[in-house]
Structure 1
Amino acid sequence: MNEQDLRRLLTVSVEGVLPSQPASAGWERARRTRRTRRTVGVVALAVALVGGGTVAALRPSADPPLVPPVGPTVTPTVESTHAGPVQHPPTELTFPPDPLARLGGPATVPLSQRPVQRALALFQPLDEENRANGPIRVLGNDGVVRSLDVVTPAPTRDAGGNEAPALKPGVLSPDGRSAAFPQAKELIMVDLTTATVRRIPLDGYLELVVWAHDRVLVGGDDRTYAVERASGAASMFDMSAWELAAPDPDAGRAAPLIEMYGERASLALRSRTAEAAELRSEQPITGSALPSPYQVNEFYGRGWLNGERLARAAWITSGEIDGAEGTAVLDARTGAVLHLLDLGRDRGKGCCDVLGWDNKGAVLLRLEPAALARWHPETGEITGIIRDLHGVIALAD
């Protein structure tokens, strides 16, 4: 406030309206008083706060003290709970209702009689020796469980004769419309919306598939093919299907292909071009954000990308043991381990494959004794989805 404003304020504050003056003059003076007070009120308050007693002494004692207006109480926003880099599952899981729990029930209709609009999941029951124990179940987005009756894929096998179930994580396309089953010397493509089957001849022992947008990457120990879903045309890629992470379905066909390989200090990420699998970059996987002695020893199972985050099962060094089961979430750009789920030492070896991400950014994984669980790395919350379901599950995006 300058000297002129102070003089005007003092003049107005001592001005009086005499009864003998005309009413029009009184109203004009009152109007001028209100306008002037509005004009200088905010400035007067600022000076009062800065200058303290100077303005208080100038204001006549008859005036009430200037009180700032009372506004609504503002409650500070509480940020979402963020868990630490190392987390642990609860002693007992809760199992909220979930559509995927229907996989625990038997199939009620063959796929050939009632194809799906979109499949949410495939499930292959296994016996105690990990052999197929009934047809593959197809859970549609209508909640109906169907049996896959149009084809019966044989177990996969390698050159040494070792067998594994035909259904594996990754065989179901992200859109839930197709399934791809690797076999010896062929790839079986099933259109789940029409219940039709195509067989695409390919050389070699094929064991694993990864959907990369509108292509299927299928391979084994010594070769990997890229097969177009629409045409069935195949080209060979120089990379391993065992170490390949499933790309984010929302990233499009041009999304790079990411491999994770190595052990302990030699763990690394390798990025390749989508079209020809040519090497783009390579960088170490680091665990500097983890408290000592935690570290990732080796990854297993399929890796899954969600935006710039990558989730995969691992064997880890924990505070109790070297070789505990765990699940890691990494920054796919830098290779830094962001979150580590310590699953402890009292689980079967290779128990806890990662099966993908849900649409809320949670990791879906196998977790004994639950067949399937949901882990939110940002908050540390873990809940069960399906309880005690023995078999192999493949999920759509």
Structure 2
Amino acid sequence: MVALAVALAGGGAVAALRPPNAPPPEHSVAPTVEPTHAGPVQRPPAELTYPPDPLARLANPATVALSSRPVQRALALFQPLNQEYRADGPVRILGDDGVVRSLDVVTPAPTRDRGGNEAPAVKPGVLSPDGRSIAFAQTNELILVDLATAGVRRIPLHGYLELVLWSVDRVLVGGDDGAYAVDRVSSASTPLDVSAWDLVAPDPEAGREAALVEVGGEREGLLLRSRTPRDGAVRTEQRVTDGMLPSPYRVNEFYGRGWLHGERLARAAWITSAELDGAEGVAVLDARTGAVSHVLDLGRDRWKACCEVLGWDDRGAVLIRSKPGGLLRWQPETGEVTGVVRDLTGTVALAG
């Protein structure tokens, strides 16, 4: 199961990972789609089924502390939040043994930017693909937690750091002040010339020399870039294209974390649909050419930045965090959407 992250819809990549300015409208979210709707554009009907799934335990309360019972591999993290979008209790760790643990060895502070805007430290990408470590971006430092030993390392850095993702043997961490690559073993850090907001999480199966991928921009200016893995220098740059989608469908802007699975890239987006310019959606595109191949049209009447992508599973399905709602699984090849966890008030990170 690939690490995934929470999708927010509405006003740009930065806003997608920060708390909303006002409470969202009350709408229940239960998207699903008929398996026969396998065209490039797929829409969610009304009801959602919930097949048995190990991740469903993520909604359960913690029964033991990490310090008293470390875990070899975590499947997911969950940070409960209150109505003010602040931490409501310790981070929960769902282990591959089915036990939900509380993170008691460190309490990460909210991330913040120069303007004082805060967001929860648990975001998509903080849990390593192997489920053995957590990386928390913090102001002027990176915190690494070893889940097998419950050990904590604090690595001094500089700036208002807000986002992390794991790239093979390194942790990439950054914010509006720039980004760093931090060696997982030695803790050595190197400045990296990339956008922490638009950087795509690599496929866990990719080698250390695989290119970094970045996708961002707006409307006609949407760009897909590949960068050298060690210094972030641009290798290739091309436009994101919508030619495989029926008119008037198009991607307007991406938000949240993007995720690679082989040569496919999934990321939440605001789209132009048959009914609305600015609808919520999830797009899948070819990471080599930038061509958008599938769009899940989530329509109107949803929270701003409702549906961030959290990653891919090993069967090629996209995992999506629906707000309000829970965790969803979308199979672009068949159009099938099923529920994973019903209602989660908080942020989620998944492992590969």
Length-normalised TM-score, structure 2: 0.89
Q: Given the alignment of the two structures, is residue 388 of structure 1 paired with residue 339 of structure 2, yes or no?
A: no
Which residue identity is paired with 1:87? Q
In the TM superposition, what whole-angstrom CA distance separates every residue of 1:134-179 from its partner, at most 9, and x where no partner exists? 1000000000000000000000000111000011010000000000
Paired residue secondary structure (1:168): coil
More helix, by proportion: 1
The question of whether the paired residues in 2 share the 8 Å contact of 1:370 and 1:388 is answered with yes
- Structure-2 separation of matches of 1:84 and 1:117: 40
Question: Which structure has more RCO (C-alpha within 8 Å, separation ≥ 6)?
Answer: 2
- Structure-2 separation of matches of 1:104 and 1:272: 38
Alignment partner for residue 99 of structure 1, among 37, 54, 59?
A: 54
The question of whether the paired residues in 2 share the 8 Å contact of 1:318 and 1:342 is answered with yes
Q: CA deviation at 1:183?
A: 0.3
Alignment partner for residue 239 of structure 2, among 284, 301, 314?
A: 284
Number of aligned positions between the proteins? 318
Q: CA deviation at 1:278?
A: 1.3
Aligned to 2:313: 358
Gaps of 5+ in 2: 1-34
- Structure-2 separation of matches of 1:328 and 1:192: 33
Which residue identity is paired with 1:195? A
> What is the identity percentage for the equivalent residue pairs of Structure 1 and Structure 2?
73
Paired residue secondary structure (2:316): coil
Give 1:238-253 correspondences, 5 Å limit: 238-253=193-208
- Structure-1 separation of matches of 2:203 and 2:138: 25
Give 1:1-397 correspondences, 5 Å limit: 83-397=38-352
Paired residue secondary structure (1:353): strand
- Structure-2 separation of matches of 1:271 and 1:140: 34
The question of whether the paired residues in 2 share the 8 Å contact of 1:370 and 1:385 is answered with no
Which residue identity is paired with 1:235? T
Aligned to 1:52: none
Paired residue secondary structure (1:370): coil
The question of whether the paired residues in 2 share the 8 Å contact of 1:271 and 1:279 is answered with yes
Which residue identity is paired with 1:222? D
More strand, by proportion: 2
| TM superposition outliers: structure 1 runs of 4+ over 3 Å | none
Which residue identity is paired with 2:300? R
Gaps of 5+ in 1: 1-79
The question of whether the paired residues in 2 share the 8 Å contact of 1:208 and 1:220 is answered with yes
Q: CA deviation at 1:369?
A: 4.3
Q: CA deviation at 1:90?
A: 2.8
- Structure-2 separation of matches of 1:317 and 1:381: 22
